[in-house]
Amino acid sequence: MTSPVLQVGPLPPMLERALQNDHAAHRLPDDPGAVETFLAEHAEEVRVLVTAGVAGVRGIDADLIAALPRLAAIAHCAVGYDNTDLHAAAARGIAVSNTPDVLTDCVADAAVGLMIDLLRGFSAADRYVRAGRWATAGPFPLTQRVSGARVGILGLGRIGTAIADRLRAFDCTISYHNRHPVPGSAHRYLPSPIALARAVDVLIVAAPGGAATHHLVDAAVLAALGPHGYLVNIARGSLIDEGALIRALRDGGIAGAGLDVFADEPNVPAELRSLDNAVLLPHLASATEQTRAAMSELTLRNVTSFLATGTLITPVPLPGG
């Protein structure tokens, strides 16, 4: 059976079922050895690729784009699209979409939850109780107050703004850094990641991934954050120099880190896993039933709209556009 839709990597089950029922979608084989055979049979059919950008799964690279002569759109069931070669897509005039807005609230909730856990030590305290240490070693060490903290947000977009909105309820002082100041923002703009880190108690990373932000948080930024500072990342693992972060956590360069994303997911370095001043989550900031349903619905609308009209509901800007 022919289909204009090709799934690349796993998708939420509800979306997989809808794509199969509505468009008889094929799935690119996970086995690299089977891809060439599959493409020889189906490449001419494919007009739309659908992906969630899951870690460890092949991205939409230039080779795959070149192998699909009729490809016209790439739909991401995610807000991020750094797993796609946008330059190769733009060169072919291929449209690209993502799922903005629908996951903003849950990701912002997760950022605030990580910050509270990190400063108050809840995960570490849970381990302390479960190990029987409360009875044998006495009270858990004192932690840090959340209310009134100075918080820096690296990337004041939709998600960064939602994080700031939530933290106002904690009487936090909010500063931020973007490539450019946000018009009308009530928060203090600082001109660089280093300047932002130097001015805050907690640095929350909410910027997009991609080559332009690779290792945006490096050893110099961590040094500016300092031994009493905390780092939270709910964006992309590529934004942080993970080796520098491990050294800073291990050697007291910063006080702690709350991480939902990593450089080589799902492979988290053993040294990072061994550190008690790190809270580690398996990339679950948007992983609620409600958000996954909304992301799946919007992705399906993008696919259906493109096949019917040649337009996407939520297109993203392409290089040179």
Is residue 283 annotated as part of the catalytic site, yes or no?
A: yes
**How far apart, in whole angstroms, are the C-alpha atoms of residue 273 and residue 102?**
31
The torsion angles phi and psi of 8, rounded to 5 degrees, stand at -120, 110
Both tokens of 297, joined, read: 């619905």
Residue of 27, 158, 250, 265 marked catalytic: 265
Both tokens of 256, joined, read: 């702690």
Burial label, 257 (beta-carbon count in 10 A; 0-12, 13-18, 19+):
buried
CA dihedral 170, 175, 177, 183 (to 10 degrees): 100
**How far apart, in whole angstroms, are the C-alpha atoms of residue 34 and residue 292?**
30
Q: Are 64 and 89 in contact (CB under 8 A)?
A: no
* 5-8 sheet: strands from edge to edge: 26-27, 5-8, 48-51, 73-76, 95-97
Residue of 42, 120, 283, 301 marked catalytic: 283
What is the C-alpha end-to-end distance of the chain, expressed in Å? 36
Catalytic residue numbers? 236, 265, 283
